[in-house]
């Protein structure tokens, strides 16, 4: 598939790298490709500078948000939640029309320190806000409940014996995302229902963050035992 | 142990019944014991009338909130979240001083229909509100992430291979609750930290409710795979 990955942080690098490895035609979208490529320092999360990553992945194209999404079959939103709507806006509502948008972002608000709170929750969600802002896009929320390394290589942990969720209004779009998740190694993909069901997965973040603190690692996931 | 269980609904019945079965000295607290015992119809959740349950459990005492908690080693708050503070207030701050309070309630607000929203979340929690309202009690939040039948008999599902959480400020109180959970059959009790960490488990409810819808049953639980 032709796939655009928006965002150059840890999640963007993980997704773009794995999709490239699986043989997809991948472009990474960023606000300003020249600035992104010129960065030499790790980001605040300790993710290596994007220029190093790009040098190690010569077949992945680096482009503006708009150029990256042009003519793609799938757009992966791997930006941080606070800038997700702006990034997709730069990509352009017209270019996103009819396209499957896999939204991985969480509405984390770090303005009051750690642990973060959620800037939208409970009676609304970031996934719904994105779907409302881009009504002709086919938004599927998924992968927002686990750490980047496990999103794309779930078999690293317990041979993949854990769960991941999809939420979205379009059945074909969810089927496309589900196939992609299986190609990553996910074995238990649970369809929660329409896009509003991602309120549940976004609100898992507070528990996830405290578990990371307790376990001392992000290399865990939840399994729905039934 | 001498244990008071506050609440006569599905959760209260499950807890009181199991504690009685395990040989504890159990009193169930209710606002008005005469009214509670006179009820003959199932409640809105389909739980059998309490009088029937009480007849089947002759060794469990039925009492007012205040009488039930008098002289107990442990108070289990199994009321619905909306009335939790009022019920504990009836039990009495003086009687709760120094006592371990296992709080199972969730801050569910059904006023806008189903799925419910949470009346406190994100930067506060019901567990914290209870601890703040009764500062001399030793509040431990637990069991609020699974259905009543699995709270007390977890080995019914996958031989107990799933997780439960504890949050609280007092290490000894958490140890007492953890021992109780193990006596029920729980094998993976995760201590998340102080009482504020129950923001995470209370905010699991939206995902839990949607999973119940998707799976068509409440007989599931999450396992933290690590």
Section B124-135 average pLDDT: 98
Total tally of structural domains belonging to chain B? 1
Contact status, residue A162 vs residue A221, Cβ threshold 8 Å: yes
Using an 8 Å CB-CB cutoff, list chain A residues near B225: 157-158, 161-162, 220-223
Q: B221 and A225: CB-CB below 8 Å?
A: yes
State pLDDT tens for residues B176-211: 999 999 999 999 999 999 999 999 999 999 999 999
CA distance B21 to A190: 37
Residue A99: inside a domain, yes or no? yes
Instruction: Copy the structure tokens of residue B176.
Output: 């007492």
* Chain B residue at shortest CA distance from A220: B226
Q: Which residues contact A154 (CB under 8 A, 6 or more apart)?
A: A146, A160, A162, A164, A184, A185, A186, A187, A221
The alpha-carbon gap from A198 to the nearest alpha carbon of chain B, in Å, equals: 8
Let me know if residue A226 belongs to a domain.
Answer: no
Residue A138 CA neighbour count, 13 Å, CB half = 14
- pLDDT band of residue B63 (cuts 50, 70, 90) is very high
Complex prediction ipTM: 0.96
Q: How many CB pairs under 8 A join A and B?
A: 107
User: What is the domain extent for residue B33?
Assistant: 2-215
Block mean pLDDT (10 aa), chain A, length 226: 97 98 98 88 81 94 98 97 98 98 97 94 98 98 98 98 98 98 98 98 98 97 98
Within a domain: A100: yes
CA torsion, ordered A123, B107, A212, A43, to nearest 10 deg: 30
Asked whether residue A225 is assigned to any structural domain, the reply reads no
Interchain proximity B207–A214, CB inside 8 Å? no
Provide the CATH number for the domain around residue A41: 3.40.50.720
Which chain B residues are within 8 Å of A164, Cβ to Cβ? none
Exposure of B143 in the CB half-sphere (CA atoms within 13 A)? 31
Q: Do A206 and B122 touch (CB under 8 A)?
A: yes
Q: Report the DSSP pairing between strands B108-109 and B221-225.
A: unpaired
In a domain, A142, yes or no: yes
d(CA A121, CA A116): 13
- What confidence tens digit (pLDDT) does each residue in B24-40 have? 999 999 999 998 888 87
pTM: 0.96
β-bridge mates for residue B62, sequence order: B28
Question: Is residue B16 within 8 Å of residue B26, measured between CB atoms?
Answer: yes
In a domain, A38, yes or no: yes
Q: Tokens at residue B102, please?
A: 């296992």
List, in order, residues 6 or more apart from A37 with CB less than 8 Å away. A50, A51, A54, A62
- What is the reported pLDDT for A14? 98
Q: How far apart are CA A158 and CA B53, in angstroms?
A: 43
Reported as a pLDDT band with limits 50, 70 and 90, residue B43 is confident
> For B74, what's the count of Cα atoms within 13 Å in the CB-facing half-sphere?
26
Would you say residue B71 lies in a domain? Answer: yes
- Whether A190 is in a domain gets the answer yes
What interhelical angle do B84-91 and B126-133 show, nearest 10? Answer: 20
pLDDT of residue A72: 97
């Amino acid at each position: 598939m032709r796939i655009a990955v928006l965002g150059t942080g840890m999640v963007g690098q993980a997704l773009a790298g794995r999709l490239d490895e699986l043989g997809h035609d991948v472009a990474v979208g960023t606000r300003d490709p020249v600035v992104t490529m010129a960065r030499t320092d790790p980001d605040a999360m300790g993710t290596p500078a994007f220029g190093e990553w790009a040098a190690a992945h010569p077949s992945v194209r680096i482009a503006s948000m708009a150029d990256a999404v042009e003519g793609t079959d799938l757009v992966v939103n791997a930006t941080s939640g606070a800038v997700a709507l702006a990034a997709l806006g730069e990509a352009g509502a017209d270019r996103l029309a009819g396209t499957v948008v896999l939204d991985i972002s969480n509405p984390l608000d770090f303005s009051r320190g750690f642990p973060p709170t959620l800037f939208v929750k409970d009676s609304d969600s970031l996934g719904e806000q994105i779907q409302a802002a881009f009504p002709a896009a086919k938004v599927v929320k998924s992968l927002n409940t686990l750490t980047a390394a496990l999103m794309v290589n779930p078999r690293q942990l317990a041979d993949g014996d854990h769960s991941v969720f999809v939420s979205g209004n379009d059945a074909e779009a969810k089927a496309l995302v589900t196939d992609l998740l299986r190609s990553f190694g996910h074995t238990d993909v649970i369809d929660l229902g329409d896009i509003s069901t991602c309120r549940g997965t976004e609100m898992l973040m507070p528990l996830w963050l405290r578990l990371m603190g307790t376990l001392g690692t992000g290399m865990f996931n939840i399994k729905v035992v039934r």
